[in-house]
Amino acid sequence: MIFIITGDIQTGKTTTLFEHTKSLNNCGGFLCPTVNGKRHFYNLDTQVSLQFELGSTNENSIEVGRFIFDKNAFSLSSEWALNHYKTNHIHNIVIDEIGKLELRKDGFYDLTKKLVSLDWTNKNLILVIRYFLLNEIIQFFKIPDPIITDVKHLNKVFVP
């Protein structure tokens, strides 16, 4: 199944998902916590954290608003998610988050297209999308029949 966790900016989407997944051993993909003021990709399977927010631009950076991100970190975390789909013990794959970059066909655009096209009969894809982009992203990626939950009402129904 495909689940979407939504909410406004800074409403606890990442924190809530971290709390729901930290005691489970069947989660993959990544969360995007802020650590020491910088954004990181946190691999839910290996618990490895990778900083992707940069202080200045370079040949491998991408800008969105006031943020500068490392394209290589996006590639690595995309590999994590695709490998987790093939991993037997992982049943829930979290992608935190899909947003403006993906609508520009950057960031996790290719990953999102690929993941949405896969069979989710025996696994769960959990996408994090800000509320104001929700309908646009669902239509843009043609996400089939997602189960949408506001972070304020999130429960553990999606993590068997």
Tokens of 22: 């930290």
| pTM given for the model | 0.92
List the chain domain ranges: 2-158
Tokens of 151: 């972070």
Pick from 157, 77, 67: nearest CA to 110: 77
How far apart CA 139 and CA 150 sit, in angstroms, is 18
CATH 3.40.50.300 corresponds to the domain 2-158: yes
Let me know: does 36 contact 73? Beta carbons within 8 Å.
no
Q: What is the pLDDT of residues 58-104, one digit of tens each?
A: 999 998 888 999 999 999 999 999 999 999 999 999 999 999 999 99
Let me know: does 127 contact 146? Beta carbons within 8 Å.
yes
What's the confidence (pLDDT) of residue 9? 86
Q: What is the pLDDT of residues 6-43, one digit of tens each?
A: 998 888 899 888 888 887 889 999 999 999 999 999 99
How far apart CA 28 and CA 90 sit, in angstroms, is 6
Q: Can you give the length of the chain in residues? A: 160
Q: Sign of torsion, CA 53 23 151 83?
A: positive
* Structure letter (DSSP) for residue 155: -
Confidence label for 155 from pLDDT (cuts 50, 70 and 90) = low
